[in-house]
Structure 1
Amino acid sequence: MGSWISTWSQDPADRDLPALLCLPPAGAGCQQFRSWQPELNGIAQVYGVQLPGRENRWGEAMPDTFGEAVTAIAAELEATLGDRPLVVFGHSFGGLIGYEVARRVTPRALLVSGCRAPTHWDGAGRGIVDDGEELDKLFDTAGLDPALLDEDTRTVMVGMLRKDAQLSLSYVHRPDGLLPVPVHAWGADGDETVSSADLDGWAAVTSAGLTRRTVTGGHHAVLRHPRPVLDHLAVLLRAEGAPLTQAG
């Protein structure tokens, strides 16, 4: 079994910096966060979560349940980081995984974008598994026209999306305690898959407060134009031991 956690920094000094853990959306790998490391040099060491079935874990099978994936990620993360300060960022499906990981490792803050609150997640992704309208909508919000993709590329993308969506359907939210860290939820005014109410729902799962921000664009606006969220993350990461409820 390959590693669940990737990093792109080779400087040993970076291991004295706070850590930023990034979780990609459904159907994607974590290599997209490689470009975030130079943007945060001297501020944080960037790590990515890599689910099986993509990029360097192409030949590996997906876990049977959502909980199995979260348990494996949290265990490897604790072994990798020790007691270093940590901020978790997750986009869309990655935000849901990030939330459950945060419940196990207690970072300084959780930042999610384009992600329904856990209490709003029931049934999300079923349209992807069933190859319904939701699958076409995800291609559209990613700026991809399925008709312009070659058959092999579309098959690979659909396969990864379906595997992640199937994994998400095994998720059950258990309200057995509030997350004791602040949540920062970002949305986009053109997102047709995650509503403002879905984002406001994050207030119900944290005892440390919710900060809401909105950008212009579709579902993947934050990933397409990450400068605002990178600036926000830099503030959180620089705070280190200070109470992050005062940042942003």
Structure 2
Amino acid sequence: MGRWISTWTDDPAVRDLPVLLCLPPAGAGCQQFRAWQPALEGTAQVYGVQLPGRENRWREPMPDTFDEAVDAIAAELTATVGDRPVTVFGHSFGGLLGYEVARRVPPRALVVSGCRAPGHWDGAGRGIVDDGEELDKLFDTAGLDPALLDEDTRALMVGMLRKDAQLSLSYTHRPGVRLDVPVHAWGADGDETVTAADLDGWAAVTSAGFTRHTTTGGHHAVLRHPRPVLDQLTALLSDAAQPHPAP
């Protein structure tokens, strides 16, 4: 397995299944998606995208630009999964990465949660880089009280968040051709960082249908209580397993 994409099963039976590619939020690694493999047993092989600077890649430097990261992920995805159908899921910053990966390696569907539409990302993340209110909101919505974290843990988390936020600031949205796959955007009614308008903006990136879904909780609600989105992903992956006519 390459550096950018991980999986959690070597069962030969999954090699013919559709692929679910999961991209985590800023400051996080992909191990949180490990539990999704047994939850989707018999439906998909789950892969997680691992950026440098965390978990098994914590000593590695971040790429210089957003596009460099996306190009590396897309190239490894193509080499890893071959012609199997792919569904992409990304949360927060991972949704933006997932969208750009989908532009390079077309999936069967794109699902994002807690993520501004690409055209709404101008300056997003600056509050994290500057240690402003946005950083405190992300700790709060993750259910973490910075005052209760030891100094080393907080420094590690802040460092990862800032690196990813800095990477996001190098992103420039170039609309171009719209995706020819359905896009589903999940939001939470208590999310103070991503508005309904930010989610509705995803309708502009696809010509194949857009749906907005709402759940209860804060910014990380979908990751903390994933059952509803897992049910939707199961349906999308099952559809992906059916033969699709050539365009």
TM normalised by structure 2 equals: 0.97
TM-fit CA distance, 1:25: 0.2
Aligned to 1:165: 165
Residues in 1 aligned to 2:240 and 2:21: alpha-carbon distance in whole angstroms: 15
Task: Give the letter for the 1:14 counterpart.
Answer: V
SS in 2 for 1:207: coil
TM-fit CA distance, 1:240: 1.7
Aligned to 1:188: 188
Per-residue CA deviations over 1:168-195 (Å, capped at 9, x if unaligned) read 0000000111011110000000000000
Identity over aligned pairs, percent = 83
Within 5 A, what are the aligned runs for 1:45-194? 45-194=45-194
Task: Give the letter for the 2:69 counterpart.
Answer: A
SS in 1 for 2:153: helix
The unaligned stretches of length 5 or more in structure 2 are none
Residues in 1 aligned to 2:58 and 2:80: alpha-carbon distance in whole angstroms: 23
CA-based RMSD of the aligned residues comes to: 1.1
After the TM superposition, list the runs of 4 or more consecutive aligned residues in structure 1 that deviate by more than 4 angstroms: 241-244
Residues in 2 aligned to 1:217 and 1:198: alpha-carbon distance in whole angstroms: 17
Q: After superposing the two structures, state which structure 1 stretch, 133-142 or 157-166, moved more.
A: 133-142
Per-residue CA deviations over 1:190-227 (Å, capped at 9, x if unaligned) read 00000000000000011111011100000000000000
Task: Give the letter for the 1:56 counterpart.
Answer: N
Residues in 2 aligned to 1:241 and 1:235: alpha-carbon distance in whole angstroms: 10
Judged with a 3 Å threshold, the aligned counterparts in structure 2 of structure 1 residues 160 and 73 are, in CA distance, closer, same or farther, namely same
Aligned to 2:39: 39
The unaligned stretches of length 5 or more in structure 1 are none
Residues in 1 aligned to 2:163 and 2:25: alpha-carbon distance in whole angstroms: 12
TM normalised by structure 1 equals: 0.96
Aligned length, in residue pairs: 243
Residues in 1 aligned to 2:197 and 2:188: alpha-carbon distance in whole angstroms: 12
SS in 1 for 2:174: coil
Per-residue CA deviations over 1:63-96 (Å, capped at 9, x if unaligned) read 0000000000000000000100100000000000
